[in-house]
Copies of this chain bind each other. A is one copy, B any other.
Amino acid sequence: MICHIEAGNGIAIYEQIGRQVKFSIANGSLVVGERVPSVRELAIQTAVNVNTVARAYRELQQQGVLNSIRGTGLTVSAAAPATCALMRLDMIRDRLRSVLQEALRNQISADEIRTLVNDEWEKLSNKADASDNTS
């Protein structure tokens, strides 16, 4: 599982981690029973403090997404894929709604929004492709 952290986007870091775990489960990149990266491993990979990763995992456990197995670490629970699949679009929808709301309130037109979305989506897709090729 690869985890990207974006500072200063208004979402707490521990929540960003939790969201990406859920997305990975919904995508099938993490399957039932599979171990998630250890706290330390993920902390190093994301350059985030260990406590912050630990907090993310703790909340995922409380939500029933991860199971703790002594001596083995944390694994994806049996119920997780179903619940994460349901959340997949909702997580994006909520953030999107907040942005659209601001746009609508401030006289941004539907056309302007659609143009923005298409332009940005294309830019990001190209960037992602480029970095795929590089790696």
Q: Of B20, B102, B112, B128, which contacts A19 at CB under 8 A?
A: B102
Copies of this chain in its oligomeric complex? 4
Is the C-beta of A133 less than 8 angstroms from some C-beta in chain B? no
A44 at the binding interface (Cβ < 8 Å): no
Instruction: Report the interface size for chain A: residues with CB under 8 A from the other chain.
Output: 43
A121: shortest Cβ distance to chain B, in Å?
A: 6
- In the bound complex, how far is the Cα of B12 from the Cα of A10, in angstroms? 9
* A100 adjacent to B121 (CB under 8 Å): yes
A interface residues (Cβ-Cβ under 8 A, vs B): 4, 6, 9-11, 19-20, 23-24, 26-27, 49, 62, 71, 88-89, 92-93, 95-108, 110, 112-114, 116-117, 120-121, 124-125, 128
